[in-house]
Amino acid sequence: MNAHSKLAGHHVVAVALLGGLLFLGSNAASQPATITKTPGPQPTTPAPASQPAASDVAEPSAPAEAEAPAQTEFTPTTPPEAAPPPPPPDEPEPVAPRGPFSKGAVRLTLLLGTASTYNDTYFIIGGGVGYYLLNGLEVGLDYEAWLFANPVIQRLSPEVRYVFHMVPVLKPYVGTFYRRNFVVDHDDYNQVGGRVGGYFIPKSNRMFIGAGAVYERTLDCTSSALVDCDSWYPEISIGVSL
């Protein structure tokens, strides 16, 4: 083998080697390269926040109306008044003022009047006392002296009288009586009669003034110059109640 042959052979080999390399390179290019990597520490990726369920999400509500602040009413406190002490047990209840003709009242009377006989006119002066058993109802005893004529007469008269105390201003009265007459130098005699009139009460509520008329009937009467069997005469009285 000559030198050219050696060189040619060598060249073939080289070509063959190059073709083999190319062949190998083409095969490598046609095959996908598999790269195996050793797993290293992976970076920590934060997990996505869990989304609340649709049912848990509160629907936005309309803004509530602003409520007015509660007003506190101020009530001034006053200390309770002390209860009045009870009246003493032995103290009597106050008694309403009573009038002069109420039950239990006592009457004192001054009597003035005139009377006439056939031939004389008498001036009468007297007084009396009475007690009211009920309101307006009185029992009493009156005394009269007939003066300034002849004969002088003294008379004592138990009586019953009723005053219409409920009538305002002028209070009418009616009464009846029995009378014993004591006559100087003559026989005594008896009479029955009645009276009617009215009382006026001034502001004092204790004093009263009366005016009226008296009728008398003489018992066992025989008309004479001294005595009338029936007679009328006026009377005026001033009294006070105790």
CA distance 151 to 120: 9
Lowest mean pLDDT among 9-13, 71-75, 99-103, 198-202: 9-13
User: Residue 20's pLDDT band (boundaries 50, 70, 90)?
Assistant: very low
Contacts made by residues 104-108, CB under 8 angstroms, sequence distance 24+: 104/132, 105/131, 105/132, 105/241, 105/242, 106/130, 106/131, 106/132, 106/241, 106/242, 107/131, 107/132, 107/138, 107/140, 107/239, 107/240, 107/241, 108/239, 108/240, 108/241, 108/242
Res 203: pLDDT: 77
Residue 231 has pLDDT above 50, yes or no: yes
CA atoms 118, 121, 125, 129: torsion sign: positive
Task: Report which of residues 21 and 224 the model is more confident about.
Answer: 224
Question: Which CATH number do you get for residue 159?
Answer: 2.40.160.20
User: Residue 239 forms beta bridges with which residues?
Assistant: 109, 208
User: Residue 158's pLDDT band (boundaries 50, 70, 90)?
Assistant: very high
Res 16: pLDDT: 38
Total domains present in the chain: 1
In-domain check, residue 18: no
Calculate mean pLDDT across residues 127-145.
Answer: 95
Q: Which domain holds residue 164?
A: 106-241
Of 234, 213, 198, nearest in space to 101 by CA: 198
Do the beta carbons of residue 158 and residue 141 sit within 8 Å? yes
DSSP assignment of 200-227? E--TTSSEEEEEEEEEEEETT----SS-
Res 160: pLDDT: 97
In-domain check, residue 196: yes
Do the beta carbons of residue 124 and residue 93 sit within 8 Å? no
End-to-end Cα distance, the chain: 196
The region that residue 104 occupies, defined by phi over 0 for left and psi between -120 and 50 for alpha, beta otherwise, is left
Q: How far from chain centre, in Å, is Cα 70?
A: 35
Res 224: pLDDT: 61
In-domain check, residue 13: no
CA distance 39 to 150: 173
In-domain check, residue 95: no
In-domain check, residue 36: no
In-domain check, residue 159: yes
User: Hey, which bits of 4-93 come out as E strands?
Assistant: none
In-domain check, residue 94: no
Q: Which residues contact 164 (CB under 8 A, 6 or more apart)?
A: 136, 171, 172, 173
Of 145, 215, 142, 206, nearest in space to 174 by CA: 215
pLDDT in tens, 84-129: 777 666 656 655 556 889 999 999 888 888 877 777 888 989 989 9
Residue 63 has pLDDT above 90, yes or no: no
Res 26: pLDDT: 43
Res 10: pLDDT: 42
Lowest mean pLDDT among 76-85, 106-115, 150-159: 76-85
User: Residue 38 forms beta bridges with which residues?
Assistant: none
Calculate mean pLDDT across residues 66-78.
Answer: 60
Share of the chain above pLDDT 90, in %: 33
Q: For residue 127, what is the enclosing H or E element?
A: strand 121-134
pLDDT in tens, 163-221: 999 998 899 999 999 999 999 988 899 999 999 999 998 876 778 889 999 999 999 88
Q: Which residues contact 199 (CB under 8 A, 6 or more apart)?
A: 101, 163, 170, 171, 173, 208, 209, 210, 239
In-domain check, residue 116: yes
User: Residue 1's pLDDT band (boundaries 50, 70, 90)?
Assistant: very low
